[in-house]
Every structure is written in structure tokens, then in C-alpha cells.
Amino acid sequence: MSTKIDDELFGSADLQWEKLKNKLFLGICFTASLFGVVVLVFLLADVAYEAGIGIVEFDINIGQFLTEGGRRDPEDAGFYAAIVASVWLMALTAVMAFVVGVGSAIYLEEYAPDTRITRLIEANLANLAGVPSVVYGLLVLAAVVNGFGTGSILLAGAIALALLIVPIIIVSTQEALRAVPDGLRNGSYATGATQWQTIRQVVLPAAIPGILTGTILALARAIGETAPLIMVGILFTARRPPGPLDSFSAMPSQIYVWAAQPQPHFHHLAALGIVVLLAFMLTMNAVAVFLRNRYEREL
């Protein structure tokens, strides 16, 4: 029922068109958000398909793939040396990045006075998080590999990865520490405990699930990093599983070496390598989610 006032107010508005515009816009936004999901499905399907072709048509033996080292001949090539290298890298990276990252976060959250130095450290963290991973590789190449003359060893690669994820661990640890209520700290101080006793016996036990979750997620990111390892090491195919002081080719760099080869056989080896790499990442993420869900309720 349109009155004269309605006409004056809405005469120029085409409600039909406004509604259509709204629907179109919803359609565009919805499609855009599905795009990411569709790409993810295609990406995973593509990797699985290429890996499957490798097994079916190129007779890649999974058992051999998981137990043999790298070979120049694709028929005999395996992923075992790269898997061992990645596990070593993760172990060493975890130790270094955990100590430095959690230590820094505790200092910044619990001790740091609000001085210019503290603000400098905080501002620098945001900057470090934006440094491309390949630059960390260059840093370690010049400072450790050639500066200390260690050569392209696995430990140098671990240092590069640790430097890369320290800012991530600091930020997640700070969040975990902030989530510990001040009441707990004050209760501890009231009994006469020093700040360090409070941190060690009250704050850290309460925050440790969050800290571990953040650390594992950061490691899951580190295990897929390729560029710093390529800068630190030499691109090659590792035959034997390395120790911390050996030259190495980890999972992602081995995948790169294979993927960059023109022969199709290597291409499918790379796909199978990606399946293994993603399986590792998935496991780490699952552990992190489990830790979070398990302990979140108790806090």
C-alpha cells in the first residue's frame, strides 16, 4: 500500500534492484570463499593422483621408497635418508627454538620493564616475522657455514630453521602466558615466592599446554621449509641417512630436486615424497590440536 509519503521517500529507490544486487554480492562472496576450498581439494587430489600413478604405472615400491636412500637412478630411489634428515632437523630445531623462543617470551611477558629496549625487542619481532625465509638461509650460510667454517651440515640447517620459527614461538608463548590469570601469580607472591619461583612452579605449569601447542605448530611450518635449507646446503640426492654433522638433503629439498627433474619417474617420486611430508605435518598438527583440546578445559 503506497501512500504519498512513501512515494516521496522511496520513489527513487528500486527495491527490486537493491535486493538483486544484494543477492549477486552474496553469490560472489560465497563463490570466492569456496574457491579456496576447491583449490585445496584439487591440490590434494592432484598430489594423490600423481603419487598413485607413480605406484601403479612406474612400479614405485612403497616399502623400498621408505627404506632406501636417494639414488641417481629413479628405479632404485628412496626417501629414507631425507626422512631421517628431516627428523634430525626437527629435533635440533625444536630444542634451539624452544629454549630461545620460550625464554624470550617469559622475559618479555614476566620480567621486562616498559623501557625503550623492551619496545625495541617487541617491534623487532614483528619485523623478523616478515623476513623472507630465504634470507635466514643466507644469514646462516655466511655466518655459520662459512663464518665458523662448519660446512653445509645438518646442524647449520637446523639453526636456520630455528631462527625462522623463534618469532612464531615467542608470539604464541606470550599468548599462553597472558592467559594465565594474575590471581595465580599474586597467590604465589603472597607466600613469599620470588618471581622466578612463581614462573617456574606456577605460571609455566599452567601455560605449558599452550606453549607446546604453539611450538608444535611452528615446527610443522618448519618441516616444510625448503628455501633456507637450499641456501645452507647443496642440492643433491642423499644416499645415506645423515647425522647432525653430515651434509644432508631433507624431505622438502629432496622433493625439489625430484620435481625439478624432467623425467616423469622423478615427478611421481616427488608426489610420493609430498604425501609423506604432508603426513608428517598432519600428524604434528593433530598432536597440537589434541594437546589444546585436552588441556584447554582444565585451565
Least distance CB 28 / other proteins (angstroms) = 6
By C-beta, is 226 or 237 nearer to other proteins? 226
- In the complex with other proteins, the residue whose CB is nearer, 149 or 183, is 149
| 243 is a site residue for other proteins (CB under 8 A) | no
> Rule CB under 8 A: is residue 16 a binding residue for other proteins?
no
Q: Which is nearer to other proteins, 196 or 290 (CB)?
A: 196
Near other proteins in 267-296, by CB under 8 A: 267, 270-271, 274, 277-278, 281, 285
Closest among 173, 159, 14, 187 to 88, alpha carbons compared: 159
Out of 7, 14, 30, 119, point to the residue binding other proteins (CB under 8 A). Answer: 30
CB of 5 to other proteins, least distance (A): 14
Residue among 63 and 191 whose Cβ is closer to other proteins: 191
Nearer of residues 27 and 243 to other proteins, judged by Cβ: 27
* From 45-53, 62-70, 87-95, 174-182, span contacting other proteins (CB under 8 A): 45-53
Position 205 contacts other proteins (CB under 8 A): no
Q: What is the dihedral of CA 172, 173, 174, 178, to 10 degrees?
A: 110
**Using rule CB under 8 A, residue 208 touches other proteins:** no
64 interacts with other proteins by CB under 8 A: no
Lookup result for grid cell 570466492: 32
Shortest distance in whole angstroms from residue 29 CB to other proteins: 4
Q: Under the criterion CB under 8 A, does residue 28 sit at the interface with other proteins?
A: yes
Cβ distance to other proteins smaller for residue 30 or 179:
30
Inter-residue contact 71 to 237 (CB < 8 Å):
yes
The piece of 65-73, 87-95, 181-189, 219-227 that touches other proteins (CB under 8 A) is: 219-227
Number of residues that bind other proteins (CB under 8 A): 96
**Counting contacts by CB under 8 A, is residue 265 touching other proteins?**
no
Q: Is 238 in the site for other proteins (CB under 8 A)?
A: no
- Could you say which of 48, 100, 171, 184 contacts other proteins (CB under 8 A)? 100
CB 82 within 8 A of CB 254: yes
Q: Are 238 and 70 in contact (CB under 8 A)?
A: yes
Residues listed for the chain? 299
d(CA 246, CA 152): 8
Judged on CB neighbours under 10 Å (0-12, 13-18, 19+), 163 is buried
- Report the residue number, 2 or 33, with the smaller CB distance to other proteins: 33
Q: Would you say 14 or 75 has its CB closer to other proteins?
A: 14
Q: With the C-alpha atoms ordered 71, 72, 75, 78, is the resulting torsion angle positive or negative?
A: positive
